[in-house]
Chains A and B, each alone.
Chain A
């Protein structure tokens, strides 16, 4: 029974952690999309992920 209850607790804990990770991922998706729109609207280059490509272009 101990085993059972402890495994139940850990299931609940696992669920809680999964939820935290999922919430964070969803929040990131929303914020990154908003920022991309703002960047486009302001006429600035897109996210830091593509900054290296742009630098490479400048070298050319």
Chain B
């Protein structure tokens, strides 16, 4: 497993995403910068400049033409991937914590955070499927979801639901037309930190500060698998090909750690067998908590973004692909 260290951020990473082909990796950080990298060699393709606060979240459409980002500067921005031009900047009352293209690429979902009398909102904007400079300033829908604060979200299969994860450890299915909750299930003890869909969106993985990650069936929100670790988790991802694995990562914040020794070994990406729920390996390297994990859509590599400001890209060796779990 040879790591490539991407040095392009001066502060902690908040989210990383591969595009659909997996040739590009996008990273966002508290340093206000959005970077695009070639995933095979770690060279930087470019940056997207314009945010003036922490960039919390990023997503890229399936044709790699449009990028969307959400920031603590109370804006979400739509970018032309190929030339770095900002096509649209939407303004809100509070920070944008999560952005996601719909499965059909025609819509963008934004989650804004509650603050100073402003309620949390979920907003859906229409974006053309491709490059355009005439994207609407007005949302298709604005929802004010009741109940616990939403921390993570995703589109379900065929965009028929919005799946959200909340601060109290619950997940919920929302009707994207009405903003009403259809089902909820309290699956974690503490806040959800990540929620990533499987390739066909029929199931997804959650990570939580309660030190566990879980796989749930999207339609029923039924828990199918649980991966229990010894450290609060910030991210979890499903390997789409080659191996039936999931990768989880996290770690205690430095301020929460009293003993140096207890810090050792916590900043690792842990590989679990998705179906058998058994840990199969760890990859270390970060000097602080792991904030975000993404897996190449072909399952050839994975990347982790840390509190330490680094992105580490790992290309799997041949023996990874031939590895067979002893049954």
Interface residues of A (CB under 8 A from B): 14, 17-18, 20-21, 24, 27, 31-32, 35, 38-39, 42, 44, 47-48
Q: Which residues of B contact A31 (CB under 8 A)?
A: 202-203, 217
Contact residue among B104, B244, B276 (Cβ-Cβ distance under 8 Å from A44): B104
Q: Can you list 5 A-B contacts (CB < 8 A)?
A: A24-B244, A31-B202, A35-B158, A35-B200, A47-B200
Check A35–B276 contact: CB distance below 8 A: no
Instruction: Given A44-B104, A48-B199, verify A35-B157 contact (CB < 8 Å).
Output: yes
Contact flags (1/0) for B86-120 with A, using CB distance below 8 Å? 00000000000000000010000000000000000
Contact residue among A17, A32, A44, A48 (Cβ-Cβ distance under 8 Å from B158): A44
Cα distance, A38 to B275, chains bound together (Å): 26
Cα distance, A42 to B104, chains bound together (Å): 12
Interface residues of B (CB under 8 A from A): 104, 157-158, 199-200, 202-203, 217, 224, 244, 275-276, 327
Check B276–A21 contact: CB distance below 8 A: yes
Cα distance, A31 to B216, chains bound together (Å): 13
Check B327–A18 contact: CB distance below 8 A: yes
Q: Which 10 A-B pairs have the closest CB atoms?
A: A24-B275, A31-B202, A17-B327, A20-B275, A14-B327, A17-B276, A21-B275, A48-B199, A20-B276, A42-B158
Which among B104, B217, B275 has the greatest number of chain A C-beta atoms within 10 A? Answer: B275
Closest A residue to B202 by beta carbon equals A31
Q: Which residues of A contact B203 (CB under 8 A)?
A: 31
Give the distance to chain A from B59, nearest Cβ to Cβ, in Å: 17
Contact residue among A20, A42, A48 (Cβ-Cβ distance under 8 Å from B200): A48
Q: Which residues of B contact A32 (CB under 8 A)?
A: 200, 202
Give the distance to chain B from A35, nearest Cβ to Cβ, in Å: 6
Cα distance, A15 to B142, chains bound together (Å): 51
Check B327–A21 contact: CB distance below 8 A: yes
Cα distance, A29 to B276, chains bound together (Å): 18
Q: Which residues of A contact B327 (CB under 8 A)?
A: 14, 17-18, 21
Q: Which residues of A contact B199 (CB under 8 A)?
A: 48
Q: Which residues of B contact A48 (CB under 8 A)?
A: 199-200
